[in-house]
Structure formats: C-alpha cells, structure tokens
Amino acid sequence: MRAPTLRPVPEFLSRAWLTQLEAALDASPTVAALAPLVIEQVVTRVPGQGEVRYRISLAAGRARVIAGDDADGATPDVRLTTDYETAVAIATGEQNAQIALAHGRLRLGGNVELLVRRAEGFAALDDATAALRAVTTYRSP
C-alpha cells in the first residue's frame, strides 16, 4: 500500500500562505462580487518576521494578494491592523473581529463606512478561505 502524498501545510502569513490565500479568493465568485475593493492587513509582532503587511485587491473579476511593499500603487480602501496573537485568534475562530475591535486589539482605518456598507459581503472572504484555514499552521507567539 502506498503512503498518502502529503501536501505542504502553509504557515500563517508566510509567502506560501499568501499565495494560497490569493488562489482561494480568486476562485470564489462571491469574493469577486465585492470588487472594486482593496483591503490592507497589517499584522505586528509576527514571530520571526516582525510586521507582515499585505493587500487583497479585488478588481475586474480577479482577486490578488500583494505582499509587503510590493503593492501596485493601489491605495487601500480599508486597513485592518492587529498583533499576531489576535490575528491567529480571529483566523482560528477563537475570537471574532467585533470583540477584538471592542477591546482595542483590532484597529480599522481608511473608509470604515465602506466596510460597514459591505459587511454582509465580507462573509464571502471567510467562506472562501475555510479550506485554507483548515490546513494552516500557526507559530506560537
């Protein structure tokens, strides 16, 4: 009997994880419906990396994830900033974003009104990334 082929498991916020995030978002028609939109995520105190910054750009039926300062000049509509521990808690479902926001562990910037107007559509981001979250590994803070 052959052993099952093991696929690499992406580490949260690594380049490999960002690549798989882009693939997951790009494959979702409900995410594409949020366009045009640019969301910037800033995660501080990431073990072994310091700060990780990336943008999710939704335009023309495509989702792109642009890492760090590789941004293509698109100004983010919304910026979400948090520390690594909180980002992991939100990603794993241990805490929701509203609670993190209420406790000051998640900060919003940019056009917050746009975020509020499209709140229901943001569930599509969560749905599109469920399979990725299931295979993601996390470093201990």
Q: What is the pLDDT of residues 84-129, one digit of tens each?
A: 999 999 999 899 988 999 999 999 999 989 888 887 777 788 888 8
Which residue ranges make up each domain of the chain? 15-129
Strand order in the sheet with 62-67: 62-67, 50-59, 37-46, 78-83, 106-110
DSSP secondary structure letter of residue 61: T
Pairwise CA distance, residues 104 & 112, whole Å: 15
Q: Kindly state the percentage of the chain with pLDDT values over 70.
A: 89
Cβ density class 99-136: b for 16+ within 10 Å, e for less: ebeeeebbeeebeeeebeeeeeebebbeebbeebeeeb
Measured between alpha carbons, how far is 25 from 82 in angstroms, rounded to an integer? Answer: 21
Q: What is the pLDDT at residue 6?
A: 45
Q: Which of the four CATH numbers 3.90.550.10, 3.30.1050.10, 3.40.50.2300, 3.30.930.10 does domain 15-129 have?
A: 3.30.1050.10
- Prediction pTM value: 0.87
**Rounded Cα–Cα distance for residues 41 and 55 (Å):** 6
**Residue 69: predicted pLDDT:** 64
Please, what's the b/e burial string for 12-27 (b: 16 or more CB within 10 A of its CB; e: otherwise)?
bbbeebbebbbebbbe
pLDDT higher than threshold 80 for residue 3: no
Q: Shortest CA distance to 21 belongs to which of 94, 128, 137? A: 128
Are 79 and 108 within 8 A, CB to CB? yes
CB atoms within 10 A of CB 9: 12
